[in-house]
């Protein structure tokens, strides 16, 4: 199979004014192919062994990093290995375990209610359908898609802050609402690619296309990006901004 070569670094941002729907789809897919080459090991960076663990970890990941969540989940899952144990947890003990993730009182409340709902409505098992998952306390479409895509193999797009920032910078959408972004970007790719697309873009957002100072001069898709130049364009300085892992 012939792999696509990276475009040469541009002198200015790509002008996508007047871009047709077909041209957008082709540009988006080429961009994804190049980013997938940069991040061939892109994956969910939350540690988990089953759908229950991934669901709980994803709820905990709100407003914190995956690294911090991974730091508390071994103890958390040793004490509360399933939904029934979680539902019966003493609030103070649960708060003490998850405190490093921040907002621990609100998260404890969400986890206690989540465990109880799983026991009462799904016999302690995590459901494998979007419509069921989003009825659970503390679970929205983003969390549901993470669980479906990574624990059940059901394609889904995870519109977190990184994903939303990147698809707008790349000019794939100008929408802000996560649900609308999910549908508009999803239309550019076959469903079988949605889950891995999410991982690849999130990796790129964490490692290269940072929120405050993106490394434009070290980006493999700079020539395909209408936002080229919002960050550092000098190659050596840009390479110094690259990260090898998620922020701690």
Model pLDDT, residue 1: 38
Indicate whether 7 pLDDT > 70. no
Question: Residues with catalytic annotation?
Answer: 142, 160
Indicate whether 5 pLDDT > 90. no
Indicate whether 12 pLDDT > 90. no
Report, as an integer, the average pLDDT of 226-241. Answer: 96
In 3D, which of 157, 148, 151, 166 has the Cα closest to residue 206? 166
User: What is the separation, in whole angstroms, between the first and last Cα of the chain?
Assistant: 37
Residue 167 CA neighbour count, 13 Å, CB half: 33
Report the C-alpha gap between 28 and 170 in whole angstroms. 8
Q: How many domains does the chain have?
A: 2
In 3D, which of 105, 114, 134 has the Cα closest to residue 57? 114
Domain boundary among 104, 123, 152: 152
233: in domain: yes
Asked if residue 183 and residue 135 are part of one domain, the reply reads: no
pLDDT digits (tens, 9 = 90+) for 95-144: 999 999 999 999 999 999 999 999 999 999 999 999 999 999 999 999 99
247: in domain: no
In 3D, which of 134, 155, 157 has the Cα closest to residue 144? 134
pLDDT digits (tens, 9 = 90+) for 40-83: 999 999 999 999 999 999 999 998 999 999 999 999 999 999 99
Asked if residue 137 and residue 198 are part of one domain, the reply reads: no
Report the C-alpha gap between 46 and 36 in whole angstroms. 20
Ramachandran class of 171: left when φ > 0, alpha when ψ lies in -120 to 50, beta otherwise: left
Q: Specify whether the CB–CB gap between 160 and 143 falls below 8 A.
A: no
Asked if residue 118 and residue 63 are part of one domain, the reply reads: yes
Asked if residue 38 and residue 71 are part of one domain, the reply reads: no
């Amino acid at each position: 199979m012939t792999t696509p070569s990276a475009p040469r670094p541009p002198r200015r941002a790509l002008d996508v004014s007047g871009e047709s729907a077909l041209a957008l789809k082709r540009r988006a897919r080429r961009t994804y192919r190049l980013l997938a080459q940069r991040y061939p090991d892109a994956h969910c960076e939350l540690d988990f062994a089953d759908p229950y663990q991934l669901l709980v970890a994803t709820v905990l990941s709100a407003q914190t990093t995956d690294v911090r969540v991974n730091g508390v989940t071994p103890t958390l899952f040793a004490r509360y290995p399933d939904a029934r144990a979680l539902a019966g947890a003493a609030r103070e003990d649960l708060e003490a375990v998850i405190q490093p993730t921040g907002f621990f009182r609100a998260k404890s409340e969400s986890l206690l209610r989540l465990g109880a709902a799983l026991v009462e409505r799904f016999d302690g098992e995590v459901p494998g359908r979007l419509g069921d998952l989003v009825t659970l306390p503390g679970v929205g479409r983003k969390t549901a898609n993470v669980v479906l895509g990574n624990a059940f193999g059901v394609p889904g797009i995870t519109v977190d802050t990184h994903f939303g920032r990147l698809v707008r910078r790349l000019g794939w959408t100008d929408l802000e609402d996560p649900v609308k972004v999910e549908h508009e970007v999803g239309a550019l790719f076959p469903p079988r690619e949605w889950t891995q697309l999410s991982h690849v873009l999130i990796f790129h957002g964490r490692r290269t296309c940072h929120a405050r100072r993106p490394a434009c001069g070290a980006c493999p898709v700079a020539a395909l990006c209408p936002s080229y130049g919002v960050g550092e364009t000098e190659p050596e300085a840009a390479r110094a901004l690259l990260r090898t892992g998620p922020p701690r």
